[in-house]
Structure 1
Amino acid sequence: MDSFSIQDFIEPSLGQLSILPTIFSFLICVMMSFVVRDIYIRRSFSLTGKMHIGSIIPILSAVVFIVIVIVKSSLALSLGLVGALSIVRFRTPIKEPEELVYLFLAIGLGIGYAAGQILITTILVLLTLAIIYFWLSNHSISKTSEYNLVIVWKKNNIEFKNILDIIDSKSENVKLIRMDKSPDSTTAVMLVSPKENNFIDI
C-alpha cells in the first residue's frame, strides 16, 4: 500500500483531466486574452512598445494556462515548479505600471481558466476591462492638463540635459517616462504639464 501511495505521488495523474473541458477552457482563455490585447492597444497610455507588449499577452495567458494545468495534476510537479521559480531571476525592461497591470491580468486569465473557473473568470475580466474602457482609458480623461511628449533626435552632439532645460522652462511639471537609445537616434518619452495649459512650442 505504501508503494502505491509513493507511485501516485511521483507519477502525474493526467488521467484525471477531462480533455474536452480543458481544450474548451484553453480556447476561451486565448479568446479573452486577445480581447485584453485589443483593449491595451486601443486604450493604453503607452506611446511606445504597444504592439510588442500586446503580442505577449495572448502568449503569456496560454503559457500560464498550460503550466497550471500540468502542475495541478501532480503534487510532485507543483513542488518542482516552486523549486524552479526560486532560482530564476527575472529581468524585464517594463517600466510603466500600466504594462504590469495588463500582464498581471493576462496571468490571471491563464490561472482562472486553467482552474476551471470559466464563468467567474470571464465575468471578472469583462468587468475589469469595462472599468478600464470607461473610466481609466486615455480617451475618458483626455481633458487632463498632462500630455505625453515624444522627442526623437539623431545628432549625437545634442545633450539631453539641454533639451530637458528648454522643456522645463516652458512646463510646470516634467517627468521622464523612458529613454531608448539606438545607433541612429535617441527617443525620449516624457509626461509634461505645460504652463497656462498650452502646448509646448519649441
Structure 2
Amino acid sequence: MQEQTFLNDIANQFGSAESSIVDFLINIFITIILSYIIGLVYSKYGNSLSNRKKLMQTFVLISVTVMLVISIVKSSLALSLGLVGALSIVRFRTAIKEPEELVYFFVAIALGLGMGANQRIVTLTGAIVIILYIVIQNMNSVRHAVQQNLIVTIANTSDKGLDENVILELLRNHCSKIELRRLDDINNSTELSLNVEFNDFESIIKAKNDLKSIGDIQFSFIENY
C-alpha cells in the first residue's frame, strides 16, 4: 500500500492525473480529425511509391491507439514502466522503404502522444505548422504536369550496351523531371524505380515507344496519386 501510494505521488508530481470522460472524448475527436487531415496531406503531396491512399488510412488508427495508450498509462507510473517492458518485445517485420513514410508515421504518433497527454494547444499548433509547411513547400510545383512512377526492369543477360544510363538519357528527352528513387539488382535483373514528370500525356506515349525500341526491358507507368 505504501509503495502504491509512493508511485501515485510521483505520478501526480509529473501532472499525470486521470482525465474525465468528456476530456477523453474531446481529445479522441480532435485526434481523429488531425490525423485524417495529415493523411489527406500525405495522399496529395507525398512522393512515395507505395499506395498512399491505403497507407493514409492507418494514420487515424495509429494516432488513436497511441492516444488511448497514453491516456491509460499517464495516471500510473507503474503502468508506464510496464508499458516500457511490453514494448521492448515488439518487432516490426515489414521494413519502411521510404523515409517520407517514416516521417508521417512519426507525425501521427506525435499527435496521439500530445492528445493523450491532454496537450491540446501544443498539439494543434504543431499540427497546423506542419500542415502549412508541407502545403507551402509544394506550392511551387508544376500543377499541370503529369507525374508518374516508372518501374523499369533490365535483364542482365540482355545487350551489354543497355544499362541504367541509357534509360535515364532516353527519359531526359521526354521528362521535365526525373528522380531515381530505388536501384535494385535482383535475380539477374536490374530494377529502376523512378519518379518522373511529363508536360503532357503525349510525352508519356513517346517515352513508352522509345523504351520499347531500345531492347529487352520491362516497364510499368504507375499513376503518382
Instruction: Assess same fold via TM > 0.5.
Output: yes
Unaligned runs of 5+ in 2: 173-177, 212-225
**What is the aligned counterpart of 2:32 among 30, 33, 49?**
30
- Aligned AA (1:159): A
- Aligned AA (1:170): L
2:25 is paired with a residue whose SS is: helix
Q: 1:165 to 1:64 in 2, by over 3 A?
A: same
- Aligned AA (1:116): N
Give the aligned partner of residue 175 of structure 1: 180
- Measure, in 2, the Cα distance between the counterparts of 1:85 and 1:18: 26
Where does 1:26-175 land on structure 2 (aligned, <5 Å)? Answer: 26-135=28-137, 137=138, 140-142=140-142, 149-151=149-151, 159=155, 164=164, 166-170=166-170, 175=180
Give the aligned partner of residue 190 of structure 1: 194
Q: CA deviation at 1:94?
A: 1.8
Q: 1:102 to 1:176 in 2, by over 3 A?
A: closer
- Measure, in 1, the Cα distance between the counterparts of 2:127 and 2:181: 31
User: Residue 35 of structure 2 contacts residue 60 of structure 2 at CA under 8 Å; is this kept in 1?
Assistant: yes
Q: 1:58 to 1:174 in 2, by over 3 A?
A: closer
- Measure, in 1, the Cα distance between the counterparts of 2:17 and 2:129: 35
1:45 is paired with a residue whose SS is: coil
1:115-173, CA deviations, whole angstroms, 9 ceiling, x for partnerless residues? Answer: 111112111111110000111x3x53349xxx7541378xxxx6278574541443688
Give the aligned partner of residue 18 of structure 1: 20
Moved more, 28-37 or 168-177: 168-177
Number of residue pairs the alignment of both structures matches: 182
Unaligned runs of 5+ in 1: 182-186
Q: 1:124 to 1:176 in 2, by over 3 A?
A: closer
